[in-house]
Structure 1
Amino acid sequence: MSTDFPGFPKAGFEFLDDLKENNTRDWFAENKARYRETLQDHLLDFIQAMVEPLAEITPHFVADARRNGGSMFRIHRDVRFSKDKRPYKEHAACHFRHSLGRDAHAPGFYVHLATDEVLYGGGIWMPPSDALYMIRRAIADRPKEWEKVLSDQAIRDIFGEIGGDGLKRPPKGFSADEPHIKDLKRKTFFLMHRTTPKAAQSPAFLNEVVEGFKTAAPLMRFLCKAVDVPF
């Protein structure tokens, strides 16, 4: 396992704190070098350090340390259809997606850095309707497999319960008396552990995330099988 990532510097979180107060294109242009030096470059180092540990968990998820088009999310917000016109995200994040997935809607592992919390975990966010139906169908058709994921003690210890927004009513094709109706209503499925920026500044953070990803593997395996991709 790679252990050469020293943790994220405090200066990166200070940059995000300042960005909250100055979320404008002019300010960012003046501070772009600071963004790269204190945050982006270190996130790329973290992604690169994840290559070997992630491959040991599963060969089908990708850690791609490119500045554009890889595992790192862009800091620019898409404001085309939003009332919130702030041009930049006030957090940094990376997504280790399935090799067959084109975007964040595929199964993947995730790390999120913000000034008030740091998150890591895995799952699938807002999958397209066909994939969502396949996941729901898998839960309904293989309840014992799903119950094994839900009852996994290591998952419960680190992540608690599976999360994700859901419908108010049962989805089409599923009855209200299904044994796992709460989960069948979900539009998103994820396990997420919350920690602190201080924890992310430690050299131990990389191994903590790796162990979290290993623990989340039963959910990831179930989701991959449901949407017919290898884990």
Structure 2
Amino acid sequence: MEKVVLTKDVLDFLENLKKNNTREWFDEHKPLFKEKETLIKSFNKAVMEGLNTTDEIEKMKLFRIYRDVRFSKDKTPYKEHFACSFTRAGAKLRGGYYVRIKPRESFIAAGFWEPNKEDLLRVRKELELDADEFRQTINEPSLKKVWGNITGDELKTAPRNFDKEHKDIDLIKKKQFIFVKNVTDKEVISSKFSENTVASFKAIRPFFDLMSDILTTDLNGESLFD
């Protein structure tokens, strides 16, 4: 795995962008932005290379820094962070990874951000039937030490056709299944940030393996791909 170190001037650029979030300032500093973007791309490629030693990444996406302000009250034209997602390959490998770099607000994340309605229903049906393995997996000490508790948006009450008194309704109500780990500026510019990120992502694999198993079988455990 190639080692790519994010330098402090990446954070400095984003800090200055926050103070000067205008097209005039950005156009004037476009070459500097391109320089930092190139470094970010190299870092993300190094993370993907590290992930691919134990996983299979289908797509890496560096999000554009330009904001879509058409339907937003906030008309600042640029995002004040760099962000990238990594999608696992094929229909049998589920879940994704995410990295965001922003001064004092950087984090890495892993999980299921926007499961489609079929996948969400399948997971809810599994939890309704038996959530013991799910709870055991997300509470595994080695995973919890790195990632803490599962998070994500959830409904205020039970989904339609589910019992609001179900003992696992706290999980059934979830619309997302996400783990988030905050990262300090010091950690971002550390020489070990890329390998530490890969190691953290590796720690989430038992959860991904369980979710992939759920989403590729029916409630009887029969494969959907045979």
TM range (shorter): 0.7 to 0.9
Corresponding residue for residue 67 of structure 2: 77
* 1:142-183 C-alpha deviation (Å, 9 max, x unpaired): 412202212210121111100112111011121122232112
Letter in 1 for 2:105: E
Task: State the superposition RMSD in angstroms.
Answer: 2.1
- Residue 141 of structure 1 and its aligned partner are, at CA, apart by 2.9
Aligned mates of 2:23, 2:211 — CA distance in 1: 39
Aligned mates of 2:66, 2:120 — CA distance in 1: 28
> Are residue 181 (structure 1) and residue 169 (structure 2) matched?
yes
Aligned mates of 1:100, 1:22 — CA distance in 2: 42
Verify the 8 A CA contact 1:112 1:118 in the aligned structure 2.
yes
Letter in 2 for 1:54: L
> Are residue 203 (structure 1) and residue 200 (structure 2) matched?
no
Aligned mates of 1:99, 1:73 — CA distance in 2: 19
* 1:195-224 C-alpha deviation (Å, 9 max, x unpaired): 211111111111111110011112222333
Corresponding residue for residue 111 of structure 1: 99
Verify the 8 A CA contact 1:3 1:206 in the aligned structure 2.
no
1:53-72 equivalences under 5 Å are 53-59=50-56, 61-62=57-58, 64=60, 71-72=61-62
Aligned mates of 1:138, 1:76 — CA distance in 2: 40
Corresponding residue for residue 49 of structure 1: 46
Corresponding residue for residue 67 of structure 1: none
Q: Secondary structure at the match of 1:50?
A: helix
Structure of greater Rg: 2
Verify the 8 A CA contact 1:3 1:207 in the aligned structure 2.
no
Corresponding residue for residue 214 of structure 1: 202
Aligned mates of 1:26, 1:137 — CA distance in 2: 52
Q: Provide TM-score, normalisation by structure 1.
A: 0.85
Q: 1:78 to 1:138 in 2, by over 3 A?
A: farther
- Residue 99 of structure 1 and its aligned partner are, at CA, apart by 2.9
2:82 to 88, 92, 95: 92
1:157 to 127, 145, 158: 145
* 1:8-56 C-alpha deviation (Å, 9 max, x unpaired): 1111111111111111222212212111212x11111112212332112
Identity of aligned residues (%): 31
Q: Secondary structure at the match of 1:28?
A: helix
> Are residue 9 (structure 1) and residue 11 (structure 2) matched?
no
Instruction: Name stretches of at least 5 consecutive residues in structure 2 with no aligned partner.
Output: 218-223
Corresponding residue for residue 36 of structure 1: 34
47-56 or 17-26, which deviates more: 47-56
Runs of 4+ with deviation above 4 angstroms? none
Aligned mates of 2:77, 2:126 — CA distance in 1: 39
Q: Provide TM-score, normalisation by structure 2.
A: 0.87
Aligned positions, number:
216
Instruction: Name stretches of at least 5 consecutive residues in structure 1 with no aligned partner.
Output: 65-70
Aligned mates of 2:204, 2:125 — CA distance in 1: 21
> Are residue 26 (structure 1) and residue 14 (structure 2) matched?
no
Verify the 8 A CA contact 1:162 1:189 in the aligned structure 2.
yes
Q: Secondary structure at the match of 1:57?
A: coil
